[in-house]
Every structure is written in structure tokens, then in C-alpha cells.
Chains A and B, each alone.
Chain A
Amino acid sequence: MNSLPARYNRSIDWVTVLLYLLMVGVGWLNVYAASYSPDAPSNPFGSLNFGQLMDFNWFKQIVWIGTALVLIVVLLVIDPKAYDTFAYGLYGLMILLLIVTPFIARPIAGSRSWLELGPVRVQPAEFAKFITALAVSRYLAGINLRQQSFRDQLVLVGLTLLPPVLIIAANETGQALVFAAFLLAYFREGMSPIILLILAAGAVILILALLVPKVWLVVGFTVLLAVVLAANWRSLRHHLPLSAGVWAVVIGMVFGVDFFFNNVLQDHQRKRIEILINPSADPLGVGWNVTQSKIAIGSGGLAGKGFLQGTQTKFDFVPEQSTDFIFCTVGEEWGWAGTMTTIVLFMALLGRVVFVAERQKSVFGRTYGYCVASIIFFHFCINIGMTIGLAPVVGIPLPFFSYGGSSLWSFTTLLFILLAIDAARKQDLERY
């Protein structure tokens, strides 16, 4: 076995590492700005001891970043084969942990999902993401998704849904939603695009059902279906039962929305969606977060107010400003230039991860790569979407930017397992 530097020097994907460091660095600057207080001493290192410094989020984030770097070394030292080999074992352990967490965790902010290990608090749900990604990649590598049996499909669905179900049980809906991201990876591995299309159409119908009077939807869809049938009567006349079935399902969905909305969703979730539809309702209550977040970002202008000059974020108008709403600080202090840079950074990283995934020779490696991209993309989508009023307020962090050890470690692990697998791909070649 080669020494570590020799093993990774050429084969590690430095572009991804560079993007990672850039994002973590920019993220830290914004965490510093978000937790910066003009009243605090200008040179805290001179006057405060470690314990006092740990009162500041920006300092704790330095500690988290430092430990994340150590974590990276550990991840690269481990033989990449291990991720494949132990995928199911880890998955089993994680499921156990998710089951016991609500019983041994103290309730924090309404959910029993944080475990306390001495001074450090971790959220098992954060780590469920990469472990599930490993497990489903392992599983997909062993079957052919195009010709899979019904039983294989069922197992895959079960593997994917078990963790989010347990996470919802611990009342962390946001983290559970992330598992929807796996669909993109499955799509790349051969899942029928119709499933994606149906889900997308379903989402559109659900959203329309909330926005547009239901009668219009029913009449509109009926007319549309009739026109399509009439235009293609020759080819479609044999599919009348199917058409009728589709019609029934759509109409059912239109009217089912209300039931889902009123009886399935919890009160705070329902309000978050109401706010998305009508942002000006209740601007001082539930709409506060979104309204203030948009004000903070919108007031940034083209070039922003400047580093540490943000007023909305600094003076506590935006809640959760260093964690879930960190993008507000970016938008306010760096303006459109800053938000575009952030988006470009994410696009670059996602593009690079897809590129890395595509060059994997193993299904395991490629699937895992796509899982990484999909999970990061989902976070990017929902987190930024909610700060600018395009997505409901779901409490999930912006990868690499948001303050928090659990989140940073989990995304670091997610990404660097891929890099470790990627670096070993030449060894695989050598071996075979």
C-alpha cells in the first residue's frame, strides 16, 4: 500500500476540493458577519479565553471547520472499499440509532432529534443521508434497474423510505424531505422518466389546486383531455379506460389537496404553505421570516451593503440568520453579485460532482455520486428558495454555508467519500 500522499496526490479531484474550500471559506465569512456584533471587542483573541470565544458562532464554526478538515483526512485514509463493504452494516446501525434517538434525546426546538455527546450535539438525521446514499448505491450496483423484479423495486423503495419515515417520527420533516432527492439519482440509473413526469405533473396540479379555484381546474382539465382525445381519436380510442382513470386521479388530487392540507399537514406546515401562496398575509406572524428574509436580500442591491454592513441581518430582523437563513447575509452584504457568485459556486460544484460521478466505472460509485449531487441540489433548491419566497419555509441548511457542526460534517463526509471512491478508481483499474 502506497503512502497516503502518494496514493492521492495525482488521483484526488482537486477541483472539487478547491470548490469545497471556497464554499466553506465564503460560508464562514458570512457566518462571521451574521454573528458579528458591533458591540463586541474588536480583537476578541486578545481579550477572551477559549470558553468565552466559544460563545461566538463564528468561532465555533472555525472549530467545526477544523474538525471537518481532520474528518477529511480520516475519510481519505480509510480504504474506499470499506464504504462499499460496510454500506449495509452502517445502514443497519443508522436505522437503530434513528429508532432510539427520540427516546434518549432531549427535546430541542420541538423535536427530539439531537444527541448530545459531551459538548457536541449531533443530529443523526444529518448522517442518515450519506449512509442511505451508500446503501442504495450498493443495492443498485447489485441489480439491473431496467430489468429489475418487482421485489427489487420494493426493496429499493423500502431502503429509501425507511429513514425519512423514522425522521418524520422524530418531527424533523425538513430533513426527511431531502430523501426525495434520491429520485434524480434513480432516474440517471434507469428509472422510467414517466415517474418523474408524473410526480412533476402531480406537483403542478397540487400547486394549482391551492392557487386556482377548483372548478376552473376540473373544467380546464376535462376540456384539455377531451381535445387531446378528439385530436388523436384513432390512436387513443383504445385507451379510453386509461384516460378515464387519469381523469379520475387528477380530479381526485384536486379535491384531495384540501383534505391533505387540512387533515394531514401539521398546523405550522400548513401556515408555511399559506405564506408561500400569499406572502402578505400575517407579515408580523408566520410571514415574518419570509418577509424579513426577502427585505434583507432585496435591500442588498447590485453590489450589497458591504462586509459587516448589513442592517437587517445584524439587527436581528432575520431569524436563524447564521443557520437556515445564512443566504440573507450573503444577499444583503454582497448584493446580487454575491448571490450570483453563490449560485455559480453551487452550479460549479454540482457540475463537477456529476462529472466525477460519470467517470466512475462502478455502478456503486456513479450512483453514489449522483446521490451526492442530488442531495446538495435539494438543499440548495429548498434553502435558497425559501429565503426568496419561492419555497415553503423548511428548516434545512445551505450546504457548506450554514453555521453548524452536524451539517458541515455530514456534507463534508458526503462529498469526500465520493472523492475517496473517485481517487481509488485507478487502483480499481490496476487491480482488474
Chain B
Amino acid sequence: MQYLEGRKYVVQAIFLAVALVFATRLFYIQVLDGSYKLAADRNTLQRIVQSPYRGLIYDRKGQILVQNTPVYDLMVVPREVKQLDTLRFSQLLQLPLEEVREGLQQARKFSRVKASPLVQNLSTQELAAIQDNLIDFPGFSVKARMARSYNTHTMAHALGYVGSITPKLLERPQYSKYQPGEFLGITGLESFYEKQLMGRRGVQYRMVNVRGIEKGAFRDGEYDTLSVAGQDLHLSLDSELQGYTEKLMAGKRGSVVAIDPKTGEILAFVSAPMFDPEMLSGKGMGNRYMELLNNPEQPLFNRPLMATYPPGSTFKLVNELVALQAGVVSPNTPFPCNFKLVRCTHRHEYPSNVGIAIKQSCNPYFYQVMRATVLRGRSSNRFEDARLGLGEWRRKVMQFGLGEKLGVDMGQEKKGLIPSPEFYDKRNGYHRWTFRTVYSLSIGQGEIGITGLQMANVMATIANRGWYYTPHFVRGIGSGGPLPEYQVKHTVGVDARHFEAIIPGMVSVVDGNGGTGNNASLADVGISVAGKTGTVQNPHGDDHATFAAFAPAQDPKIAIVVFIENAGFGGSSAAPLAALVMEKYLRGQVAPWRHRWEEWLPGPADRFIKRRKY
């Protein structure tokens, strides 16, 4: 039997072989292969992102416009809900029973162990009403978060609104850091300055168990970072002026843009019809948004930036400036008011110089001015001559910031349209059109499209005699100034003397005897206003009224464009409205005898047309 004793070595060898295999395998997965450590972290580490305190928004005078207030979400963890008396609970929340049941169902579907919101955006008062009773309902808790609240009922279009991020936005690379459900600026300044307002997120690493339940900080918070509050925005908008302008625009469709020409700062920005910014915040925001969206008056449409209209007679000024710079006319060039070329607005004195032409808004005069600019015999072929001439004219006009985005600090801006030769080539055929085809452009009608903001910028440029700063809403970010692109002076390629040549005409539009814009005169309070009326032909209905101006004429502090849809002649509605706004801004008050305008102007636009007919 002794020889069998050797088998103990075989048995022990088997033991050792297995031990060796285990040791090797363990060395591999524990020491060599790092992927298991990563997998373990993926299992247990949860990044909790702390949304920072969103930056506040102040107006021109330092009055706070937009701030953060705590709102409360009633959260529910379905697993912890015990014997819920739904009837009592729904009475407490003052919600229909079905809604409570449905909410609970949704929460259960999301997760039985994670908290999900049952009722969102409860105000402090609403919370106070239910908080004491919540103790009777296990599984329900209250989570505070910051929401936007508004200290103003105006400038909704400029401010924009804040909402939770959509799944579509989440896929874009610039929003990669956002969490589902996180709030961000959706439109307006809230959206354009999202990066500055947002601040920096704080990150906390928490450990969670297999069911996602929190189990404390990771390494005592060694890797956690604190959030940094967003920067405040200081707007150039003057909330008093804005509110005043919105009141005057009540009941109409249209836009008003007022700019400080010396800085490009936007002083008032009205898109009518308006709505209260509070509507797009807080409880029931979704329903109110749908109401606004489905409103046939389209209150969400940001008209000063997005509505492009033919500018009408106000565009004659640009035409004249381009012609003067090209040297094809002089301020004293006379052109007959020839009705054969184009119908004029009314019978008036002979336009022996540009001043009279502007004052009377003489259509044939500016027809001939533009014809002189375009048709210069660059080619013996009259089609080619018109082509070359229009191309040259367009390049000059676009120098004024027309036909392309100005670059205002708001995202929804439209380019407008200054039609190119190619545009007509495509529409009419190559060499199938002449100046007669495009002459409407000379009086700001036809294919041309300009936004209210662009027209206001043209006014600021004329007020400055040849230069402008890109219009912008924000004059200060945090403790600094505006963005660098708003500190660059742009010139439009027209000499200052040519501006001086047309401004007297613009003054006489307002203050001259029989000027089309007499309703805008502020001469009675010692302010000379330079302006230009416009009536935009509208194939779909009544003409649109427009008035563009700046004041004081010699040292302009405000440039303004008023655009009222379907209000007919610009001199009767747009001009007085502009005057009120300018006076309010320049003097801080309106002369008592003009209060009748304040009472008369608000309301639907069609009244202005009836008045003209009588």
C-alpha cells in the first residue's frame, strides 16, 4: 500500500494548480485590468449638477426687471406613499381627483423609488397652504428651485423667456452640458445671453446603490465644485419709456424701435400686440404659451426683428444719400414732379432742391434721383446698364446695414431684402428688365424688405451723419461693458456733408409749413425733430403707416422708427406717436397739450384711416 502514498502529491498538485489559476486570474482582473474600476464607478457614482443662480436683468436706470424667486415642486416617491386618501389629498391641493390620480400614475411609470414632480411651480403662498398637512402624507416632499419672476409687465419680446430644455436642443453640441429638465433661455435676451446669465454649474458626486438611492458624498466631496452665479445684464432699455410706448401701441399691430444714435443702445423696443412676460413663467406656463401661439394676432412674433416690410417713403433718404455720394446729383438738383414717371402722393410745389423733395415726399423726384444713380451709361446695352447700375446701387445701400443681419444681440433677426440684379434675372430673365422694372425701389416700395430695427439704425446713421454702432440691448454685463462687437463704429461710406444736405429737408418735414410730418413737431417745447413719413402700399389690405425720425436735429439723442400696420398715411398716426416717445425720452414728460394724443392714439389702427376719409 505504501506506493499509494505518492498520490498525496498528485492531490496536492491539483489543489495548487487551481489556486494558481485563481491567483493569476485575480491578479489580472484586480490589478492589470482597469476596466472593472471604471465599471464600478459607473455603477455607483452619480453626478449631481447644481444649477447656478441665474443672472438678474436691470433696465437702463438700474431698476430690476427680471429676478429669481423660489418656486416649489411637490415631489412624490411612489414607493413611500402609504394608504393615500386621494380625496382628501386632492382637496388639499385643490386639484381635480383625476388629475392627482393621473399624476401619481405618471410618477409610478417614471420610477417607484425616485422622486418625480407631481405639481410644479407652486408659489410660496400655495405651498404654505399645504405644507403643514403634508406630514399626513408620507412619500410626498417639497423641492425648492429658482424660477424667473418679473418686476415689469412690459418688454416681453426683448426679455424672452426661460423654459426647460427640449430633447431636440439637448442633442446639439453646445447644450451637451445641460440636463434634461434644466431651464434655459428660449427666446430674446434670455437666450442670446444664456452663457452669461447661466453662470457655472456646480457638480457634486454622490454615491448611489443599485436602485439609484443616494448613499452619501463621494470621498467626502473632494471632487465637488460649487456653482457660480450668472452675470447680471444691464439693459439699455428704459422701462418707463418702454411702458409708455407699449401703452401707445396698445390695440395695434406694428413695431417701435428707438435707439440712442451715439451708442447704438436700444431705448425702446415694442412689438405689438404685446403680452405680459409673466405669462411665460410659473404655474400653467405651458397652457398660456399655447394660447399665445394660437392667437391669430401672433403676439409671439417679434415684429421689429422678424417682420420685413417695404420701408416706403422713408427709404427715399437712403436713395438720396447714395446718389449724392456717387456725385450724380447735388442737393440743389431740381427734378420735375412728373406724374408720367410715377404717381406722386399729392400736388405740391416744384421740387427745385432736395429739401423740398423730402418735405413733399415727391415720388417722381426720387424716381429720377435713383435713375441717375443706376443708369450711368456703364454699358451701351440699356439692359446691361440697368444691371450694372443696380448692382452698384445695391452695394452702396447695403452699407447702411440693410439686406443683411445687423447683428443685434437677439437671435431671431431677419435679413430683409435688397433685391440684386440676379434677383430680377431670375424673376424676369437675363437682360429682360430695365430701370422701369425696378423703379419702385426708388420710393421704398416693391420687392424691397426692411425690418423695423434696420430702419431705426438707418435713422441713427443719418443722425450721426454717417456712422453707427450696431444696435444692442445690453450696455453692461456683470460689472463690465457690452460685448466687444457693440463697441465697433461702422461707417456707411457716405460723407458727412451729404447728410447735412438732407437733414434740413427732414426738419422741414416736421416743422416746415405743410410738411408731411407736422404732427411730430416738438418745436413748441424747443426741440427740432428731423423725420420722414412713409405710407407702405399693402396689397393685402389697408396701407401701413410709418414714421422715422431723430431729435434734436443738431445733437441727436434719440432715433426712432414707428411702424403701424394698416393705419394708412404715416403722418397721422405714426408721426404723433413718435413725437410723444421722443418728447418723453428727451424731456422726461410730455407737454400738457399733447395729452390728447396720448388718449387718442391707443386703440385699433383702422380709426386713423376713417379719420383721413372724412
| A interface, CB within 8 angstroms of B | 38, 184, 187-190, 193, 292, 294-302, 311-312, 314-317, 331, 335-336, 339-340, 343, 346-347, 350-351, 354, 358, 370, 373, 377, 380-381, 384-385, 388, 390
Check if A335 sits within 8 Å of B30, measured CB to CB. Answer: yes
Question: Given the complex of chains A and B, what is the CA–CA distance between A97 and B8 in angstroms?
Answer: 34
- Proximity bits, B213-236, A CB within 8 Å = 1, else 0: 001100000000000000000000
Check if A390 sits within 8 Å of B21, measured CB to CB. Answer: yes
Shortest distance from the beta carbon of A339 to any chain B beta carbon, whole Å: 5
Q: List 17 A-B contacts (CB under 8 A).
A: A184-B14, A189-B4, A294-B29, A297-B30, A302-B31, A311-B40, A314-B209, A316-B210, A316-B211, A331-B30, A336-B26, A339-B26, A343-B19, A343-B26, A347-B15, A347-B16, A381-B18
Check if A370 sits within 8 Å of B11, measured CB to CB. Answer: yes
Check if A298 sits within 8 Å of B11, measured CB to CB. Answer: no
Please judge, given known A-B contacts A184-B11, A188-B7, A358-B8, whether A311 and B44 are in contact too, CB under 8 Å: yes
Please judge, given known A-B contacts A295-B40, A315-B207, A351-B15, whether A301 and B31 are in contact too, CB under 8 Å: yes
The answer to whether B25 has its CB under 8 Å from any CB of chain A is yes
The answer to whether B342 has its CB under 8 Å from any CB of chain A is no
Contacts of B31 in A (CB 8 A): 301-302, 336
Number of residue pairs across A and B with beta carbons under 8 Å?
A: 115
Contacts of B283 in A (CB 8 A): none
Contacts of A184 in B (CB 8 A): 11, 14
B18: nearest chain-A partner, CB-CB:
A381
Shortest distance from the beta carbon of B475 to any chain A beta carbon, whole Å: 52
Check if A388 sits within 8 Å of B209, measured CB to CB. Answer: no
Contacts of A297 in B (CB 8 A): 26, 29-30, 36
Additional pairs, 15, CB under 8 Å, beyond known A312-B44, A347-B16: A38-B215, A38-B216, A184-B11, A190-B4, A292-B43, A294-B36, A298-B36, A299-B39, A317-B44, A336-B31, A340-B23, A351-B15, A370-B11, A373-B11, A388-B26
Contacts of B216 in A (CB 8 A): 38
Contacts of A294 in B (CB 8 A): 29, 36
Question: Given the complex of chains A and B, what is the CA–CA distance between A118 and B35 in angstroms?
Answer: 47
Question: Given the complex of chains A and B, what is the CA–CA distance between A155 and B282 in angstroms?
Answer: 84
Check if B30 sits within 8 Å of A295, measured CB to CB. Answer: no
Size class of B's contact patch?
35 or more
Within 8 A of A (CB), among B120-147: none
A370: nearest chain-B partner, CB-CB:
B11
Check if A188 sits within 8 Å of B4, measured CB to CB. Answer: yes
Contacts of A335 in B (CB 8 A): 30
Interchain CB contact (< 8 A) of A301 among B16, B19, B37, B41: B37
Contacts of B7 in A (CB 8 A): 187-188
A339: nearest chain-B partner, CB-CB:
B26
B5: nearest chain-A partner, CB-CB:
A358
Question: Given the complex of chains A and B, what is the CA–CA distance between A358 and B208 in angstroms?
Answer: 52
Contacts of A295 in B (CB 8 A): 36, 39-40, 43
The answer to whether B27 has its CB under 8 Å from any CB of chain A is yes
Shortest distance from the beta carbon of A196 to any chain B beta carbon, whole Å: 9
Please judge, given known A-B contacts A297-B29, A301-B31, whether A315 and B210 are in contact too, CB under 8 Å: yes
Question: Given the complex of chains A and B, what is the CA–CA distance between A316 and B113 in angstroms?
Answer: 15
Contacts of A292 in B (CB 8 A): 43
Check if A302 sits within 8 Å of B30, measured CB to CB. Answer: yes
The answer to whether B10 has its CB under 8 Å from any CB of chain A is yes
A358: nearest chain-B partner, CB-CB:
B8
Contacts of B1 in A (CB 8 A): 190
Shortest distance from the beta carbon of B314 to any chain A beta carbon, whole Å: 68
B3: nearest chain-A partner, CB-CB:
A190
Question: Given the complex of chains A and B, what is the CA–CA distance between A38 and B29 in angstroms?
Answer: 27
The answer to whether B12 has its CB under 8 Å from any CB of chain A is yes
Question: Given the complex of chains A and B, what is the CA–CA distance between A302 and B37 in angstroms?
Answer: 12
Question: Given the complex of chains A and B, what is the CA–CA distance between A314 and B208 in angstroms?
Answer: 10
The answer to whether B339 has its CB under 8 Å from any CB of chain A is no
A301: nearest chain-B partner, CB-CB:
B30
Question: Given the complex of chains A and B, what is the CA–CA distance between A385 and B18 in angstroms?
Answer: 9
Check if A351 sits within 8 Å of B26, measured CB to CB. Answer: no
Contacts of A302 in B (CB 8 A): 30-31
Check if B30 sits within 8 Å of A300, measured CB to CB. Answer: yes
Check if B30 sits within 8 Å of A315, measured CB to CB. Answer: no
B14: nearest chain-A partner, CB-CB:
A184
Check if B27 sits within 8 Å of A336, measured CB to CB. Answer: yes
Contacts of B33 in A (CB 8 A): 298
Check if B30 sits within 8 Å of A188, measured CB to CB. Answer: no
Check if A339 sits within 8 Å of B11, measured CB to CB. Answer: no
Contacts of A347 in B (CB 8 A): 15-16, 19
Contacts of B41 in A (CB 8 A): 299
Question: Given the complex of chains A and B, what is the CA–CA distance between A311 and B613 in angstroms?
Answer: 84
Question: Given the complex of chains A and B, what is the CA–CA distance between A295 and B14 in angstroms?
Answer: 28
Shortest distance from the beta carbon of B45 to any chain A beta carbon, whole Å: 9
> 6 closest Cβ contacts across the A-B interface?
A298-B36, A315-B209, A299-B40, A298-B29, A316-B210, A336-B30
The answer to whether B350 has its CB under 8 Å from any CB of chain A is no
Please judge, given known A-B contacts A300-B30, A354-B8, whether A346 and B37 are in contact too, CB under 8 Å: no
A310: nearest chain-B partner, CB-CB:
B40
Check if A354 sits within 8 Å of B44, measured CB to CB. Answer: no
Question: Given the complex of chains A and B, what is the CA–CA distance between A314 and B207 in angstroms?
Answer: 11
Question: Given the complex of chains A and B, what is the CA–CA distance between A54 and B209 in angstroms?
Answer: 24
Question: Given the complex of chains A and B, what is the CA–CA distance between A300 and B11 in angstroms?
Answer: 31
Check if B40 sits within 8 Å of A354, measured CB to CB. Answer: no
Shortest distance from the beta carbon of A33 to any chain B beta carbon, whole Å: 15
